[in-house]
């Protein structure tokens, strides 16, 4: 099977590849054409996932298709952007039609869940890796960034932390567990749900935001540095799922939540006056700390005393 037949059969014919909305022209030409509404800015982000680094060497192709798009789409959520489309650059060691069919099905399922249209990309031969670029739109001048956190703000997260990191021993075959514990953890690893609607709800409310990918403490450091403030995290306020606590125990669950990464939930600073309204609207947000004068990220115990931290998050180099 040649490159263009591969694209036509598995990707160009997928439901998520149909033109519509802001996508005027999708797959089939040298470039896609987008029509962004007046008064909006284009939000663009790129993520690369490499076999043996971001996922196991022999992944389930359906699950991988979901994951590769979800982790990229989470960046749109972090900016409060409305999804438009995405491109996929796929490097394969060989052509396996059944593998490609399952991968395309997983990709399409996540694309439809996120309202993203496949608008182009590339295929080539080599070690398995995937690069996704996502595009969205946000009202001009209103995008959520990392640089607006203010002293006195609450520090909030959009859901439980640590589940995906807790699942890693299961993903790698290092541990086993009953389905009632394993399934919810594995779902958070293989099919994270980008918090797109929450990101849009935070426009005009949150002062700074990002999605947690490398670990809570490491990513909180990006807000602290960009905003020139101190971020204080209350260890005992971390939202932890029942499955993670049962699987890893309290110390292990906290370690996963603080530095494990792969959560893809939103971390944001918020004026205290906005918090009750978010709760009233049904958003599953939790206050885990606050913003103060200073610089850096501090983990505090129940008495407000600083705790030593051995590991803050994932680093590639």
Q: Report CA Rg, the chain.
A: 20
Assess whether 158 and 94 both reside in one domain: no
What CATH code is carried by the domain that includes residue 279? 3.90.650.10
- The residue with greater pLDDT, 145 or 313, is 145
What pLDDT is attached to residue 2?
Answer: 67
In a domain, 26, yes or no: yes
When divided into structural domains, the chain yields a total of 2
Of 149, 278, 147, give the one whose Cα is nearest residue 201: 278
Of 258, 265, 261, 287, give the one whose Cα is nearest residue 274: 287
What single DSSP character describes residue 307? -
Assess whether 219 and 244 both reside in one domain: yes
Q: Where does the pLDDT of residue 308 fall: very low under 50, low under 70, confident under 90, or very high at 90 and above?
A: confident
In a domain, 315, yes or no: no
| 175-231 per-position pLDDT tens digit | 999 999 999 999 999 999 999 999 999 999 999 999 999 999 999 999 999 999 999
In a domain, 308, yes or no: no
Torsion of Cα atoms, 296 then 300 then 305 then 309, to 10°: -70
Q: Residue 220 is encoded by which pair of tokens?
A: 């909180």
Residue 166 reports pLDDT greater than 80: yes
Mean pLDDT of all residues belonging to the chain: 93
Assess whether 125 and 186 both reside in one domain: no
| 231-281 per-position pLDDT tens digit | 999 999 999 999 999 999 999 999 999 999 999 999 999 999 999 999 999
Residue 317 reports pLDDT greater than 70: no
Assess whether 214 and 252 both reside in one domain: yes
Section 2-10 average pLDDT: 73
In a domain, 313, yes or no: no
What CATH code is carried by the domain that includes residue 67? 3.30.1330.10
pTM value is 0.93
Assess whether 124 and 46 both reside in one domain: yes
44: Cα within 13 Å, side-chain hemisphere: 6
In a domain, 244, yes or no: yes
| 52-102 per-position pLDDT tens digit | 888 888 899 999 999 999 999 999 999 999 999 999 999 999 988 999 999
| 122-142 per-position pLDDT tens digit | 999 999 999 999 999 999 999
- Show the domain range for 49: 3-139
Assess whether 21 and 106 both reside in one domain: yes
Assess whether 241 and 283 both reside in one domain: yes
CA distances from 157 to 89, 185, 197 (A): 31, 18, 14
Assess whether 96 and 169 both reside in one domain: no
């Amino acid at each position: 099977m040649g490159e263009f037949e591969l694209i036509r059969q598995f990707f160009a014919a997928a439901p998520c590849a149909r033109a519509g909305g802001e996508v005027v022209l999708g797959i089939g030409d040298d470039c896609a054409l987008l029509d962004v509404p007046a008064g909006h800015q284009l939000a663009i982000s790129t993520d690369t996932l490499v076999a043996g680094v971001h996922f196991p060497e022999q992944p389930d192709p359906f699950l991988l298709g979901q994951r590769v798009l979800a982790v990229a789409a989470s960046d749109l959520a972090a900016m409060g952007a409305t999804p438009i489309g995405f491109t996929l650059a796929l490097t394969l060691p060989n052509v396996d039609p059944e593998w490609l069919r399952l991968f395309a099905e997983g990709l399409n399922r996540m694309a439809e869940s996120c309202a993203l249209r496949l608008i182009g990309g590339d295929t080539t031969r080599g070690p398995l890796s995937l690069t996704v670029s996502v595009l969205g739109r946000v009202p001009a001048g209103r995008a959520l960034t990392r640089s607006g956190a203010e002293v006195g703000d609450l520090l909030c997260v959009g859901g439980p932390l640590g589940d995906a990191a807790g699942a890693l021993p299961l993903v790698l075959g290092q541990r086993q567990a009953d389905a009632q514990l394993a399934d919810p953890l594995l779902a958070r690893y293989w099919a994270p749900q980008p918090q797109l609607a929450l990101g849009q709800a935070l426009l005009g409310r949150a002062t700074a935001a990002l999605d947690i990918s490398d670990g809570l403490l490491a990513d909180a450091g990006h807000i602290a540095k960009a905003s020139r403030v101190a971020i204080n995290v209350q260890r005992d306020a971390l939202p932890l799922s029942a499955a993670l606590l049962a699987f890893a125990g309290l110390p292990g669950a906290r370690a996963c939540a603080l530095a494990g990464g792969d959560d893809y939930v939103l971390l944001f600073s918020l004026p205290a006056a906005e918090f009750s309204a978010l709760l009233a609207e049904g958003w599953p947000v939790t206050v885990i700390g606050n913003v103060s004068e200073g610089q850096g990220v501090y983990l505090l115990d129940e008495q407000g005393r600083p705790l030593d931290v051995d590991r803050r998050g994932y680093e590639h180099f």
